[in-house]
Chain A
Amino acid sequence: MPNRSFFWFFFPAGLAMILFIGLPIISTGIQSFYAQHDQILIEVKKCDPFGCKTSVVVDQEATSKIKEEKPLGKFNGFGTYIDRNHLASDQVSEFWSESKSLGEFIGKVGNLPFYKALLFTLTYCVIVTPCVLLLGFIIALSLNAISRKIRGPLIFGTILPMIVTPLVGSLVLFWMIDAEGIIGANLQILMDDPYLSVKSSKALTWITIIIYGVWHHSPFAFVVFYAALQTVPQEPLEASIIDGASRFQRVKHIVLPHIYPVVTFVALISLMDNFRVFEPIIGFSAEGSAQSLSWLIYDNLVNEEVILFGSAAATSIMTIVGISIILTPVLLRTWKEFRTNR
């Protein structure tokens, strides 16, 4: 296709992506270097019959004036990145010199907001992604062995958790496992502990969100693996059966190598999706004990007093860096393939 026609065909989609994905990333980058203005304080002298007092009050007029002049806030350089709510370089070096053991150091750092969120996000990714791959693969294998006639409705039932939005999915589960819901109440009876509730324990909350993640994402892995299973060639399978291979050996040596590219695809997509986990935290109202990077940004943006643009932007940029690290191996591979194809 000539360049001219290509340009006009691609122009609308390209413009939309540049304006609303490319520019916002740049805008986030710029915002991250600014912080909201300090309030301007003035000393006011108040005199009454008993004497004079000076008190410090906020100069509302001057504060709103400077806000109007520079709506972006004051320039802060990398100040936001290294403050206590983000990388916390001062605190980390302080902990490093104070702590006697590595464990103590890690424990202290893990309590800083950013590292706490990073720890949860990574834990979630590292546990959920392999579980999703495994469960999706097992479901695909066993559904594939079921009679073709009833597979349709079974597939429909299987993909339900995936098609609802994470907020709704987590709410539906939360209402069941809550202390007043069907599973929560029965657990209390079973464990003989009337105060047992998911919300009260950090570990239980993490486990719940992780189980939710597996429940929500497995259907996606299932669908892709199921479709890939349909393309596995029959001849090698039949040959291996004649040679006496067991079911397990067949899956390991014939099916898995065949669908290997698909496995990496699913792993990549679920890794990217898991890294942005945040709606389940709202659905399970688990803000107290589980925070993710995306949740930190959301929390800054819905701040009631003043929206913390700079803080949210700094966390966003670091999230984008995290995503890029995850993506790099894939991009490198694609680039190599492209070079060899040329």
Chain B
Amino acid sequence: MDFGLDKKSNSLKTFNTIFIVIWLLLACFPFIWTFWGSFKVRADFFSRADWWYAITAFNTLIETGASFTKEAYSGAWFEGEFWKASRNTVIVTISVVSISLFLGTLGAYALSRSTKNYAFWILIIALIFRAMPHITLVSGYLFPFFQLQIWGILPTTIVVLVAINQPFTLWLLYSFFKTVPKELDESALIDGCSYFQAFRHIIMPVMWPGVITAGLFSLMLAYNDFTVTALLLNQENHTMVPKIQSYLGTNQHEGNLMWAVSAVVSATAPLFLLVMFFQRQVISGLTAGAIKG
């Protein structure tokens, strides 16, 4: 929307720039501040006396002799066993992404190529499932899982996250598959391919952008999940987000709140890097559902 004829007034331009700068400050400053503060001691980042200490590192200098300290990180990662939580997160995330992409591409391909009524109803049901608050589903899981004695372990959580993720993945991939012309796989079918061969050799190779987008969203869901992982995993198997919450609960220990700060930074940094690289895919995924349907 670049108005060729539009001569914008200078005051409007300035106003616009100021607005954007203020918004970006609001959006980004909290993260920059937390990142900065994670290298300080608690007395500086949560200073009762003077918030300026967080910048001058008054107490950090006294306690550690330098203006930056990695104490919070080493505390959280080793003493607080954050390494275990991040290992669990890696396992959960990789499994959820690969399984839900496998199920999702097959299902969404079938939905996009079916002209029957039931395909429409399945999509509607998926939309209803997408709207269910996760906590209500968890309240349905807990009792049966206790009875079957599959509560607390990683595989259960992985399967649950895959299932919760399916409705969104199906919708997203469905809208991507719709953009691939039907003639492409129909001609392959005429040449004697089975549906699966057409899917595997003809459709998948042109679907990579869509698959990457869907994969990113599964990844963000699995990586960011709190409701399911906090309630379905035992202490030992906690992933990063419930682990961060557990640092908050035990405030008696001086270092624990700083552990939470450094854990938040450690958990957020990989996500930011990922989005930085795949920004285009994230945006196309968010808009796919809106623009095309």
Contacts and interface: CB of A to CB of B under 8 A. Distances in A.
| A-B complex is real | yes
Interface of A: 1, 3, 5-6, 9-10, 12-14, 16-17, 19-28, 31, 71-72, 138-139, 142-146, 152, 154-161, 163-168, 171-173, 175-176, 178, 180-182, 185-186, 215, 219-220, 223-224, 226-232, 234, 237-238, 241-242, 247, 255, 262, 265-266, 272, 275-276, 278-279, 282, 285, 294, 297-298, 300-302, 307, 309, 312-313, 316-317, 319-320, 323-324, 326-327, 331, 334, 338
A1 B114 contact: yes
B86 to A, nearest CB: 14
A275 B231 CA distance: 20
Contact of A307 (B30, B132, B142): B142
Given A28-B139, A165-B226, A173-B30, A319 B133 contact: yes
A312 B135 CA distance: 9
Contact of B5 (A9, A28, A238): A238
A297 B135 contact: yes
30 contacts: A1-B115, A9-B106, A9-B109, A10-B110, A12-B107, A13-B103, A20-B160, A20-B164, A21-B129, A21-B167, A22-B129, A25-B137, A27-B140, A28-B140, A138-B19, A159-B279, A160-B28, A165-B225, A166-B226, A171-B248, A175-B45, A185-B47, A227-B286, A227-B287, A241-B6, A272-B130, A276-B133, A285-B248, A316-B139, A317-B136
Interface string B44-58: 011110110010000
A132 to B, nearest CB: 13
A180 B47 contact: yes
Interface in B11-67: 12-13, 16-17, 19-20, 23-24, 26-28, 30-31, 33-34, 37, 45-48, 50-51, 54
B272 A160 contact: yes
Nearest 9 interchain pairs by C-beta = A24-B140, A13-B107, A20-B163, A9-B110, A165-B224, A276-B133, A227-B287, A316-B136, A28-B140
A167 B244 contact: yes
Interface hub of A172, A232, A307, A326 (most chain B Cβ within 10 A)? A172
B8 interface: yes
A5 B195 contact: yes
B138 A301 contact: yes
Q: What class of interface size applies to chain B in its complex with A?
A: 35 or more
* Residues of A contacting B: mostly: helix
* Residues of B contacting A: mostly: helix
Given A160-B28, A168-B244, A12 B287 contact: no
